[in-house]
Structure formats: structure tokens, C-alpha cells
Amino acid sequence: MRKELFWVAVVIAGMACTITRADEVQDLRNQLTAQEKETADLKQRIDQLESRQKLKEKAASDKLAEVEKKAGVKKESPLPDSLKWAQNINLSGDFRYRYEGIDQEGSAERHRNRIRARLGLNAKVNDEWDIGMRLATGEGVKGGDPVSTNQTLGLAWSRKTIWLDNAFLGFHPGEIKGLNLYAGKFDMPFYAVGRNQMIWDHDLTPEGGAVRYVWSLSKQTKVTVNGGGFWIVENATAKDPALWGLQGYVEQALGGPSSIIAGAGYYNYTNLKNSGALNRQWDGTTTDKFFGNTSTGGLFANDYDEVEVFAELSSKVVALPVSAYGSWVTNTAAQSGSEDTGWLVGFKVNKASDPKTWEFIYDYRDIGKDAVVGQFNDSDFVGGGTGGKGHRFNFVYQLAKNVQASLNYYASTITRTATDVDYNRLQADIMVKFK
């Protein structure tokens, strides 16, 4: 009996142990299930946080891209070491299509279509040195026209010539802030108020050396000095005509949007008197052209030592930027009784920059025959050169970024002839550029 009770007790104990282990296993299963649920919940929350972070990063990136676009910031793409030199090169250029109508009293009306194409390259050599080159269309036989890069269409579809428009090196010493030196063939370094062309045509690129020094006397006052020496003709058996120039001007803030520029320049031509016509250097003809200047026996009758004074006032009227400017020049080396003085006054309203913006420019000038060298001033007014007076109206409209349309009209009178001759010229342009 005792033995039977013993085994019964053993069986009951075993069953109790089995039940206890089953409960423990169930508890473990329940704990595992709870942990799996917590893990799933955590993973879901992590996924949600990651999604929100990505959305925030994209929004921040889009906002930064929009700000950079408005500010004109250019992003640099990573380049291999073998191509990093290309980061120091900047290409620029433009193309202009022009319709032009010319109505000169006593001559048949002329209608022509013209193109201008230019391609420039500027390369930074190091922190102080750079070089620049530009190719441009132009007409001429021995060389390109110094005051025009236009090519007339309709010459039996002939090929159009490309000339070296400029090629120069620049030096900008780090130890002298504001000093810039140039040598070669480059854009005219002398400032012209309102970008007028009474003395220098915009397309003129002199050859020689130039220096510019700019320094700020205060936040409101800045002084600029330009100077240079330029070689005009190289002669094997005679003295070389040349130009030496010095110009200085002050820019003064007047408070608010108003400012004024005032200055003077002196441009001394040497060995030009009794030298031959300058058009012989480039057009390949046997006809002497003095572009209004007085000549004797096919030679310049005067030297040219030009003194210029100029001023420009800028401000705002009804929220529009406006400027008014004037320039006066006289040739102190002209013979007694010569027409040796010229003057120009003009104004500009608004500025064509962003798409759908515009600007309007007007000027009136009266330029004596021997006030300046006719080969180098405005090639459009009175057909080019000196000895004329009249009006210019210019309207510019910004069609799109880097695309402009303009109308330019000259209503003028040629005074260099025995009797005055009316001369009217209309130019309709569309220009596209890149940089």
C-alpha cells in the first residue's frame, strides 16, 4: 500500500512539474509576442521619422536651389584632376541680327541686313594674372574695320570673315589693391558717360598698354584713374602715329539713390599730322578717307590733342532709375579757324535687365570736323566720323534672359559738306548672348 502511494505521489509531482513548465513556455511565448509587437511598432516609428526627415531635407534642398537660382549662384560640378584647369576658363559670346535703313538727302535709300557674331575666352592664370581673347565678324581686306564688327548679308552668299577682335594679358598685383594693368589689344579703357560714342566707338579695341587704378576715399567717394599708350600705325621709314591718354573721375554718392560722376581726360595723338589716311591700313582701297577730318594733299592737316570734361547724374524718379549726362571735347592742336569742338547731352530712363523690362535713351550731339579723330568715333552717326549734329533715340526691351530687342534711330545733319545734308538712319536689332 505504501509503495502504491509513493508512485501515486511521484506521478502527481511529475504532472505538476509538466504543468509548471507548460505555463513557463506560454509565458515565454507571450513575452516574445509582446517584444515582436514592440519591435514592429519601433520599426514603424523609425520609418515614419526617416520619411519625415527625407521630406524636410528635400524641402530644404529645393529652397536652397531656389535661393541660389535667384542669386545667380552657379554650382560647381566635380571634375577629375586632369580637367580642373577648365574651371579657370570662361567662355562668352553674342549674336546680333540687324535690319538697317539709311535715308541720306541726295542719295538713294539703302536697306541692308547685317549680322554680328563674337566669341570670347577669358582664362585665370593665377591670383594675379589672366588673359583674354575674342574673335568677331567684320569687314575689311587688310584688316577688320576698327569701329564695326558687322557683316553685311547679300554679297552673293559669300563666306564671312572672322578677325581677332582682342587678345591681351592682365596683371592685378595683390599687394596694390585696385591696380590693374593690361597689354595687347583690348576694349577701350576710357570711361564714357551714358556709354556715348562721341569720341570712341563701342567696337574700338586699341593696341598697346593701359593702366587703371581705383581707390575708395570713403563709403561715399571713389576715384578712378585710367591711362595708356597705344600704337596706331607702324612705319618702317617714318615716325609712328600713336595715342597717349590720361583720364580721371570721381564717383560721389549724394544720399539715397542719387550719385554723380564728374571727370576729365586728355588724349594726345602724336605724329598724326602729315600722315596718311588711316583707312588704308585695313580696307584695301586706294581711296583716302578721313571721316570728316580736314586733310591736305591726302594727309592729315591737324594734330589732335583732345581735352574732354564730362559729368553724369543718376537718381530715381517715380521708382524708375534715371540718369542725365553730358560731355564736351575740344582739339587744342587744331589750326586756327578749324571746327575743333564737340558736345553731347543725353538722358536714360529705366534699365532693361530682367525679362519684360525696358530702357529708353536719348542724346543730342554737335561734333566739329576736327574735334576728334573721325576714324575712331561713332561709325553710325552721320554715316560715321565727324562734322555733324543731330538726335539719337534708342529703345531696348528685354524679351527673355540674355535676349534683347532694340530700335535705334538717328535724325541728324551732315555739316562737313559744302551744304548741310539730312541723314536719317534706322536700326532694328535682336541680340542673344551667353556667358
pLDDT band at 67 (very low <50, low <70, confident <90, very high): confident
* Residue 415 belongs to some domain of the structure: yes
* Residue 97 belongs to some domain of the structure: yes
Long-range pairs for 221-226: beta carbons < 8 A, 24 or more residues apart = 221/250, 221/251, 221/252, 221/253, 222/250, 222/251, 223/248, 223/249, 223/250, 223/251, 224/191, 224/248, 224/249, 224/251, 224/263, 226/189, 226/190, 226/191, 226/265
What count of other Cβ atoms lies within 10 Å of the Cβ of residue 261? 19
**CA torsion through residues 415, 421, 426, 431, sign:** negative
Non-local CB neighbours of 262 within 8 Å, separated by 6+ positions:
249, 250, 252, 310, 311, 312
State which H helix or E strand residue 303 sits in.
none
* Residue 71 belongs to some domain of the structure: no
What count of other Cβ atoms lies within 10 Å of the Cβ of residue 253? 15
What one-character DSSP code corresponds to residue 45? H
pLDDT tens-digit map of 254-264:
988 999 999 99
Separation between Cα atoms, residue 136 and residue 244, nearest integer Å: 26
Provide mean pLDDT across the span 352-375: 97
Specify the number of domains making up the chain.
1
pLDDT tens-digit map of 90-147:
999 999 999 999 999 999 999 999 999 999 999 999 999 999 999 999 999 999 999 9
Domain of residue 415 covers 90-434
State the virtual CA torsion across 95, 101, 102, 103 in degrees, nearest 10. Answer: -170
* Residue 182 belongs to some domain of the structure: yes
pLDDT tens-digit map of 291-330:
999 999 999 999 999 999 999 999 999 999 999 999 999 9
* Residue 140 belongs to some domain of the structure: yes
pLDDT attached to residue 26? 74
Non-local CB neighbours of 170 within 8 Å, separated by 6+ positions:
129, 130, 131, 132, 180, 181, 182
Q: Taking a C-beta distance cutoff of 8 angstroms, is the pair 367, 342 a contact? A: yes
pTM of this prediction?
0.80
* Residue 254 belongs to some domain of the structure: yes
pLDDT attached to residue 111? 97
* Residue 202 belongs to some domain of the structure: yes
- For residue 48, give Cα distances in angstroms to 56, 233, 335: 12, 78, 90
State which H helix or E strand residue 324 sits in.
strand 320-331
pLDDT band at 358 (very low <50, low <70, confident <90, very high): very high
- For residue 18, give Cα distances in angstroms to 6, 26, 30, 31, 32: 18, 12, 18, 20, 21
CATH of the domain at 196: 2.40.160.10
